[in-house]
A and B are shown apart, each in its own frame.
Chain A
Amino acid sequence: MSGMMHIRTAGMYTSIQDLGRFGYARYGVPRSGAMDQAAAKWANLLVGNTATLAVLEWTMLPPVVQFSEPTMIAITGAVCTPYLDGVLCAMNQRIRVQKGSVLRLKNVIKGVYGYIGIHGGFDVPMCLQSRSFYKGITTTHVVSKGNQLPYTAYTEGQAAFAKLSSVCFSGDIAVLDCYQGIEYDLLPAALQTQLKHDTFVISDKRDRMAIQIEGELRNTLPSMISAPVLSGTVQLTPSGTLLVLMRDCQTTGGYPRVLQLSTQAMNVIAQKRTGMTIRFRIQTLV
C-alpha cells in the first residue's frame, strides 16, 4: 500500500537525496547526492534498506512531517531531539511510525545536514538513474510545504532498542584527511606549509555546491584551462580563498586543484558550521 509523507513545514533547503547520479559528468551533470553520505547510509541501513535508497535531507532547520501509513524510519546526521506525536524518541535507531504520526525534530545542537531514512526509501521519480534533487534535472530542487513524498507502507518488522552510538556523527573530527591535489606542486613552499599547519575557519558562504574557507592564501598561480573536478576537490581562487567543492559541484573547473579530501573528510566538513575550525592532514594516496 502506498503511503505519503506530508510536508507540514519544509525546514531549510530540504531535499531528497540518494548517493548521487553516476556516469553523467560527461554531459555536464553534477553528481549530487547526500552531503553527509555516512549519515545517509546509516539512515538506510538502520531501517533495513540498501545504502543507496533515497532519504530526506534537511539543512540546519528541520522539517515537520506527517506519515499517511505505518512504516519504520531512522533519524541520523545533525544532532537533534526527535519527537514522534509529542513523545521523545532517539536518533540513530529504528522508530516505528503509525498511520497519521507527526514527526518533529527539535534542538538542533550539532551539525548542518540531517537525514530521515524510511523503509523501502522514498519513491520519487528517478531522473538519470538517481532520485537526488537537482535544479534542471529533477522537476524541483527542494521540497515545499504541502508536498507529498511517496513511500510503501510497512507494518512488519520490530522496533529495535539497539542504537548506534553518537560516534556516528561525522562532524566532531577536527582534522580533515586529504591528498595532494593535481596542482599542489605548483604552490610555493610557504603556501604548502600554510596548508599543512594552519587552522582554517569555515565561512558563511556555503551550500550544496561548495564550502568557502575564510582567509587569504596570497598566490600568483597561473590560471589553467578547464579540467575535471570532483566533490572533495579543494580549489585555490586567484583572490586567495579555498573553495571546497561539494556534492552539487560542476564537473569541470578552471581554478588550481590544491587538495583532494578523503571520502570521510567530505562528510566531516559537510557537518561543520560557519565559524568552526578545521586543519588539513595531507596523506599520500600511493
Chain B
Amino acid sequence: MKSVFEYIPYAEDAILIRTTDKIMPFICYQLLAYKQVIEEKYAKAIIEVVQSYNSLLVVYKCVIEDFYTIVSALQSLEVSLSVMPTTARRLWEIPVCYEKELVPEIEAFAMLKSMTISEVVALHTAPLYTVYFIGFLPGFMYLGGLDAALATPRKATPNLQVPKGSVAIGGQQTGIYPSPSPAGWHVMGRSPVTFFEVANEPPCFVQSGDQIQLVSINEQQYHAIHQLAAAGVYVPKSTVI
C-alpha cells in the first residue's frame, strides 16, 4: 500500500513529514501516534517532534548526513489510521465566563451574529473541541470543532491587547489567549484558567489530541476560580477518553 506520508527535507537538521491537507481529528490522532513512536525510538537522536494539523517536523540534534537512510528508518515506524496514541487522551472541562459585566465585547459579537448572548453561549459551549496542537503563543491551543454558525472573519483592525484568558473567535477557529496579547480575533468570553505556567514541567496541562468542553460560569465563579488559578492550586476537571 502506498504510504500517506510524504518526507521532505526541511533544514540541515530537520525533516518534515506531511500527510493529507485537511483538518480532521483522525489525522490528528494518527500524527500523534506516529509522533509518539518516533519519540520513543529516537529519544537520543532528536530534539523534538513538532505536530501541526497535517505535519510532523522531526528536529534532530545533529546535522542529517543521509536523508534517505533517516527517511527509511522513519518509514519503518509509520502507523496506520487505526492505531491510536499510546498515552491517555483527556477531556478537560474549561470554565469560561461570557457575562457582559466581565466581557463587554460579547454584546457586540452577539449583535454581529444577530443572536442573543445566550444563543452564542449555547452554540459555543455545545461542541467537544479537539486540541490539534499548541503554537502561536506559549500555551495557545489550536482548537477544532467550532459551530459554523459562529464562524466570523477576523477583525480588520486587531485589538492592541486583550487580557490573559480571553476566549475569541477568528474565521473557523476559536481559541483562548494564554497571556495578554494583540488579537485579531473577536473576543467573546474569558477563562480564569492558567494554560501555561513556566514553573511547571510540562508547562501546559493540555496536549495535542486532548478534548475541551467549555463550561459557562458566572462572574462570581470566574473570580473564585481565578484566585485559585493565580495561587497555582486550580486544576480543571478532566476524564480519560
Contact between chains at A23 and B48 (CB < 8 Å): yes
**Which residues on B sit within 8 Å (CB–CB) of A173?**
none
Contact bitstring A150-161, B, C-beta under 8 A = 1, else 0: 000000000000
Residue pair B135, A285 in contact (C-beta under 8 Å): no
In-complex Cβ contact of B203 among A24, A182, A226 (8 A)? A24
B94 interface hit (Cβ, 8 Å): no
The answer, yes or no, to whether A276 is at the interface (CB within 8 Å) is: no
Pick from B10, B23, B57, B134: contact of A28, CB below 8 A.
Answer: B134
A80 vs B107: C-alpha distance when bound (angstroms) = 57
Minimum C-beta distance from B197 to chain A (A)? 10
Closest A residue to B206 by beta carbon equals A27
| A22 in contact with B48 given A27-B196, A260-B10 (CB within 8 Å) | yes
Instruction: Give A239-257 as 1s and 0s: 1 = Cβ < 8 Å from B's Cβ atoms.
Output: 0000000000011100000
Distance from A261 Cβ to chain B, minimum over Cβ atoms (Å)? 8
Q: Determine the interface band of chain A, counting residues with CB < 8 A from chain B.
A: 20 to 34
**Are B10 and A230 in contact (CB-based, < 8 A)?**
yes
| CB atoms of B11 and A127 under 8 A apart | no
Residues of A within 8 A of B13 (CB): 263
Residues of A within 8 A of B12 (CB): 179, 262-263, 285
| Residue in B49, B135, B137 whose Cβ sees the most chain A Cβ within 10 Å | B135
Q: Give every chain A residue within 8 A of B133 (Cβ-Cβ).
A: 26, 252
Closest to A127 in B: B198
Within 8 Å of chain B (Cβ to Cβ): is A217? Answer: no
Contact check, B138 vs A137: say whether CB atoms are below 8 A apart: yes
CB pair B54 A225 closer than 8 Å: yes
A252 to B67, CA, bound (A): 23
Q: Digit string of B1-35 for contact with A (CB within 8 Å is 1, else 0)?
A: 00000001111111010100101000000000000
| Top 4 closest pairs, chain A to chain B, by CB | A252-B135, A228-B57, A285-B9, A286-B67
With a cutoff of 8 Å between Cβ atoms, the chain B residues found around residue A228 in the complex are 16, 50-52, 55-57, 135
